[in-house]
Amino acid sequence: MEAEQANNPFYFGTDAGLRREYHEQKACMLLTSRDLGDAPSAPDGSSCEVDSEPDSVPPLVQGKYYNLCLLDDRSKPHTARFCGYPTYVFKALCTEDIPAYALRRVDGFRLTNFDLAQSALERWSRLPPHPSVVAIRQAFATQDFFTYQRDREHSLSRRQSSNGSAQPSHIPRSLSTEGGSLVFVYDYHANAATMEACHFQGQGPVREGVLWSYIVQIVLALRHIHAAGMAARVIDPTKILVSYRNRVRLNCVGLLDALKVDPSRSVRDYQMQDLISLGRLVLALACGTLEVLADIPKTMDQIFMKMDLSMELRNLVVMLLSKPVGAYPSVHDIAGAISGRIATQMEAALHVGDCFEEELKKEVDNGRLVRLLSKIGSIVDRPSCGSDHNWAETGDRYVVKLFRDYLFHQVDEESRPVLDIGHIADSLAKVTKAD
Binding positions for a copy of itself, rule: CB under 8 A: 10, 18-19, 22, 25, 129-132, 216-217, 219-220, 223-224, 247, 332, 335-336, 339-340, 342-343, 345-347, 349-354, 356-357, 359-364, 366-367, 369-371, 373-375, 377-378, 381-382, 384-385, 391, 404-405, 407-411, 415, 417-419, 421, 424-425
Q: How far is the CB of 426 from a copy of itself (least distance, A)?
A: 12
Q: How far is the CB of 433 from a copy of itself (least distance, A)?
A: 14
CB 226 within 8 A of CB 331: yes
Q: How far is the CB of 336 from a copy of itself (least distance, A)?
A: 5
Nearer to a copy of itself, 314 or 404 (CB): 404
Nearer to a copy of itself, 295 or 357 (CB): 357
Separation CA 190–CA 181 (nearest Å):
24
**Amino acid code (one letter) for 232:** A
Separation CA 117–CA 44 (nearest Å):
36
Considering all CA atoms of the chain, what is the largest pairwise distance in Å, rounded to the nearest integer? 92
Q: How far is the CB of 53 from a copy of itself (least distance, A)?
A: 29
Q: Which residues pair with 250 in a beta bridge?
A: 133, 240
CB 203 within 8 A of CB 284: no
Q: Which residues pair with 76 in a beta bridge?
A: none
CB 142 within 8 A of CB 180: yes
Q: How far is the CB of 247 from a copy of itself (least distance, A)?
A: 8
Nearer to a copy of itself, 221 or 258 (CB): 221
Separation CA 250–CA 159 (nearest Å):
45
Separation CA 130–CA 344 (nearest Å):
19
Nearer to a copy of itself, 55 or 356 (CB): 356
Nearer to a copy of itself, 243 or 289 (CB): 243
Q: How far is the CB of 414 from a copy of itself (least distance, A)?
A: 12
DSSP labels, 137-167: EEEEEE-HHHHHHHHHHHHHHHHHHHTT---
- For CA atoms 184, 187, 188, 194, give the dihedral sign: negative
Nearer to a copy of itself, 153 or 274 (CB): 274
Nearer to a copy of itself, 84 or 386 (CB): 386
Separation CA 270–CA 124 (nearest Å):
15
Q: How far is the CB of 258 from a copy of itself (least distance, A)?
A: 26
Nearer to a copy of itself, 171 or 369 (CB): 369
Q: How far is the CB of 78 from a copy of itself (least distance, A)?
A: 32
Nearer to a copy of itself, 48 or 350 (CB): 350
Separation CA 72–CA 56 (nearest Å):
14
DSSP labels, 266-297: -HHHHHHHHHHHHHHHHHHHHHT-GGGGGGHH
Nearer to a copy of itself, 399 or 418 (CB): 418
Residue 295 burial (10 A CB sphere; 0-12, 13-18, 19+): exposed
Q: How far is the CB of 417 from a copy of itself (least distance, A)?
A: 6
Separation CA 144–CA 150 (nearest Å):
10
Separation CA 157–CA 356 (nearest Å):
55
Compute φ and ψ for 185, nearest 5 degrees: -105, 120
Nearer to a copy of itself, 285 or 348 (CB): 348
Q: How far is the CB of 377 from a copy of itself (least distance, A)?
A: 4
Q: Which residues pair with 242 in a beta bridge?
A: 193, 248
Q: How far is the CB of 256 from a copy of itself (least distance, A)?
A: 24
